[in-house]
């Protein structure tokens, strides 16, 4: 199981990257850090700078065909930056077009909205995205984790860092099915 973790060069919520990353590794998978630029990504603990992590691949040098699944960590700035990068949005669309599972937590569904892949799906997120998701054609629910199989490719979503255990359990089940 090779899993892409797509993040912007800065702004990812560190725990939303590191906990799913560990879960994939502990399950025997290969997590791959993909970003829009080479070098390192700057993670955050909410609004404070945290650790940096080396980028394995850039979005311009990879495709959905290279992976079995995709994880989109949150943080407010991270998905906001990703949704303005056409290559990142195309990569996300590629996972859905290929019917591969995608997991997104917290603010990460902003990138899914930009990729136009939430229409007709039911998902959860940080509460402030509720209206954005509804306007994009999704049904929003306030649940710890939501697994949606309404279209090609399973979509697993969670609301916030407190949901990480349920999020990781749910996406690993889908990624290894």
DSSP string over 40-86: EEEEEETTEEEEEEE-SEEGGG--GGG-SEEEE---SHHHHHHTT-H
**Residue 63 pLDDT more than 90?**
yes
On whether the CB atoms of residues 57 and 34 are closer than 8 A, the answer is: yes
pLDDT digits over 84-99, tens only? 999 999 999 999 999 9
The residues spanned by each domain of the chain are 2-175
Provide the 8-state DSSP code for 140: E
Are 11 and 83 a contacting pair, CB within 8 Å? no
Q: What is the per-residue pLDDT for 29?
A: 98
Question: What is the Cα–Cα distance from 134 to 57, expressed in whole angstroms?
Answer: 33
**What is the reported pLDDT for 32?**
98
Q: Does residue 32 contact residue 67 with C-beta atoms inside 8 Å?
A: yes
Percent of the chain with pLDDT over 70: 100
Alpha carbon distance 44, 49 (integer Å): 4
pLDDT range class, residue 79, cuts 50, 70, 90: very high
Q: Give the torsion sign (CA, 83, 87, 92, 93).
A: positive
Q: How far apart are CA 157 and CA 169, in angstroms?
A: 12
Question: What does residue 95 show for φ and ψ, rounded to 5 degrees?
Answer: -65, -40
Kindly tell me if the per-residue pLDDT of 15 is higher than 90. yes
**Residue numbers annotated as active site:** 106-107
CATH 3.40.50.880 correct for 2-175: yes
**Distance (Å, rounded) from C-alpha 5 to C-alpha 22?**
12
At 151, the pLDDT band (50, 70, 90 cuts) reads confident
Q: Round to whole Å and give the CA distance between 12 and 154.
A: 23
Per-residue confidence (pLDDT) for residue 152, from 0 to 100? 80
Please report the pLDDT score of residue 33 as a whole number. 98
Is the pLDDT score of 26 beyond 90? yes
The string of pLDDT tens digits covering residues 98-124 is 999 999 999 999 999 999 999 999 999
Lowest mean pLDDT among 2-11, 16-25, 145-154, 167-176: 145-154
What predicted TM-score, i.e. pTM, was given to this entire model? 0.98
């Amino acid at each position: 199981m090779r899993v892409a973790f797509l993040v912007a060069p800065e702004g990812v919520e560190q725990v939303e990257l590191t906990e799913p990353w560990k879960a994939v590794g502990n399950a025997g998978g290969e997590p791959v850090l993909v970003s829009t630029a080479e070098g390192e990504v700057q993670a955050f603990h909410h609004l404070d700078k945290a650790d940096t992590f080396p980028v394995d691949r850039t979005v311009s040098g990879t495709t959905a065909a290279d992976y079995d699944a995709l994880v989109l960590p949150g943080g407010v700035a991270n998905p906001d930056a990703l949704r303005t990068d056409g290559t990142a949005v195309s990569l996300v669309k590629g996972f859905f077009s290929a019917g591969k599972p995608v997991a997104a937590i917290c603010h990460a569904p902003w990138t899914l909205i930009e990729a136009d892949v939430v229409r007709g799906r039911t998902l959860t997120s940080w509460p402030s995205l509720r209206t954005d998701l509804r306007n994009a054609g999704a049904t929003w629910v306030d649940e710890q984790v939501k697994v949606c199989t309404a279209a090609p490719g399973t979509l697993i979503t969670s609301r916030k860092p407190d949901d990480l255990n349920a999020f990781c359990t749910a996406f690993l089940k889908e990624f290894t099915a």
